[in-house]
Structure 1
Amino acid sequence: MTTEKSLILDAVQVKQKIRRMAFEIYERNVKEKTIVLAGIDGQGYVLAKLLAKEVANISPLEVKLVLLHLDKSAPAQSEITVDCDLKELRKKCIVLVDDVLNTGRTFTYGIKPFLDTEVKKIEVAVLVDRGLTIFPVHAQYTGYELSTTIKDHIEVVLGKDTAVYLH
């Protein structure tokens, strides 16, 4: 049985959403010298790289890109790590980035490493917000909001064939 998928955003639209999100990140952090984009391993990190490039193109902000690794299927049992020394993040604004905000569970566990250091603030950026959060997570930066059922699946493809699909 094949599942049908519907195109939600094409490559041009995804690029526009990322550019708009970059402007919003800059606007909310205009007084900062450096911001940290912490991408959750997988498509979240790819999105963080794209956002970092856009923020660097449109602003004087220094952007530190950080890879956050956790097991999305079992975040409570997995080791949650970042690929930098936490001291480098002290008193910085952190933007935690992932492709889709579903329940908020991944983001809730994803902030854990940043709780071990004194950061200025933690914000959330997502390409697609499904509006199904069961954890107290709100995305400050959203490319696209889409009301879906819990059974629906959002597929984000970033790279060669960039697009967002609903299954």
Structure 2
Amino acid sequence: MTQTNFKRVPFSLELAKKITNKEAKGRIVNVDGNKARIICWNKDCGNSNYPIIALVDMNGGEQIFTFTKEGKECIGFSSYKDLCLEVPTYYRDYTNFVPQKLQPCLVRDSEEDEWWVQVCAGKDIDGEILFYVYDGDIETWKYCLPLSKVTEQLLGTKKSYEQLIQELDENGKD
């Protein structure tokens, strides 16, 4: 089994929930690198600005803190107590991915289709992402991922990106 290298990324509520539910590999820490365990996502006792309750390992024991949905201990400034995430270096969150013109991407129209490589042709006047296809025509695709060493493993398969990451985790990449 190989050792996983982690990289630190900004706190994301949705990804933190996936990590907590073991749907995604990673860990929740504060800026100082202390492990954090979120015990409540939706606290509402008069101040809904701080809905997250977490126990953070500090000074040999867990201390309780509240955080904003963005993982901030205090609104308006940064703190060493702010939350962040550590994810495997092969994992990327592509939920907001927007391809750039001439960027090679993996594309498909449905989850039942295989992934293909196409090059981004830019956007049409409605903002729809366009791709060059083999016959010189231009098409749109419903699903799109950037082409990388990790995502290229999806080429010609019907797997989702999440399934690929799960396989990497199970096959010694954890």
Q: TM-score of the superposition, structure 1-length normalised? A: 0.29
User: What TM-score do you get using the length of structure 2 for normalisation?
Assistant: 0.28
Higher helix share: 1
Question: Greater Rg, structure 1 or structure 2?
Answer: 2
Q: Specify which structure has the bigger relative contact order, considering alpha-carbon pairs within 8 angstroms and separated by 6 or more residues.
A: 1
